[in-house]
Amino acid sequence: MKYKILLFDADNTILDFDKAEEQALKFAFDKNKLYYDDNVLKCYRRNNIKQWQLYESGAIKDKSEVLISRFENTFRELNLSVDCKPTADLYESNLHNGCFVISNAEEVLQKLQAFNCKLYIVTNGVLSIQNSRMKGSGMDKYFIKRFVSEKIGIPKPSKAYFDYCFANIEDFEKSKTLIIGDSLTSDIQGGINSGIDTCWYNPKRLKNYSGITPTYEIDNLEQVLKIVL
């Protein structure tokens, strides 16, 4: 077995965050009687990704700033001259219910567990939301621990974040560790920063223009089995 310790990102790797996000955003806009369509979703996603990237890079220090600034910027672009906080709050509240699982994720986790792989979650998500979604989806039972940046106080891709994770994994070996995630800037760069092998989960087969080179690239989680076993 090439890898024994597997670090999985949560959102859009194990849990379908895109689906949860769309459901929660539509709910929040509808409840606040705000017009909602695909353009609203695209605008929000663009601003959301930008703010999280600023957080990952250290340009934004406080995660709570991300959670409100993404809505402030979205409302500004959409010319909505109302307070965005009620919508942001409803979105966060409803996101707890987004327990959708990525295709094949559970089957893959079951097989990895059967081979005695040690599975961990590494995520920058909001602590309460991640805990709720992992439990609600039933995916929590496959993981020994969940390393959530909000609790640790340092986000991926920081080396310090991974140093904390490594220090809290029993019998940790770098050479036997692999991180699997959908984000080049967070998961893959974080793995590179910390000196472990990386696997970019890229189901949409996006072009990689980042300059960040993963050890492996897959478009289906089942391919993890061939890499690990």
Longest dimension (CA), the chain: 57
Query: Minimal CA–CA distance to 21: which of 106, 97, 127, 84?
Result: 97
Q: Is the dihedral of CA 191, 197, 199, 200 positive or negative?
A: positive
Q: Is residue 61 predicted with pLDDT exceeding 90?
A: no
Return d(Cα 155, Cα 153) in angstroms, integer.
Answer: 7
Entry pTM: 0.94
Known catalytic residue: 182? Answer: no
144-169 residue pLDDT tens? 999 999 999 999 999 999 999 999 99
Confidence band of 125 (pLDDT split at 50, 70, 90):
confident
Count of C-beta atoms within a 10 Å radius of residue 60? 17
H or E element, residue 180? strand 177-181
User: Of the ranges 57-66, 116-125, 162-171, which one carries the lowest mean pLDDT score?
Assistant: 57-66
Return d(Cα 199, Cα 183) in angstroms, integer.
Answer: 10
Confidence band of 191 (pLDDT split at 50, 70, 90):
very high
124-176-193-203 Cα dihedral, nearest 10 degrees: -60
Q: Helices (H) and strands (E) in the chain — how many of each?
A: 10, 6
Tokens of 185: 């800037």
* Cα-based angle 49, 121, 152 (whole degrees, multiple of 5): 75
Return d(Cα 126, Cα 148) in angstroms, integer.
Answer: 8
pLDDT at residue 114, rounded to an integer = 96
Q: What's the rounded mean pLDDT across residues 34-60?
A: 95
66-87 residue pLDDT tens? 999 999 999 999 999 999 999 9
Choose the catalytic residue: 9, 11, 187, 197: 9
User: Whole-angstrom distance between the N-terminal and C-terminal Cα of the chain?
Assistant: 5
Return d(Cα 66, Cα 149) in angstroms, integer.
Answer: 14
pLDDT at residue 54, rounded to an integer = 93
Return d(Cα 217, Cα 141) in angstroms, integer.
Answer: 26
Q: Which residues contact 218 (CB under 8 A, 6 or more apart)?
A: 199, 200, 201, 202, 224, 227
Tokens of 214: 């993963």
Average pLDDT, the chain: 96
Peptide bond into 155 cis (omega under 30): no
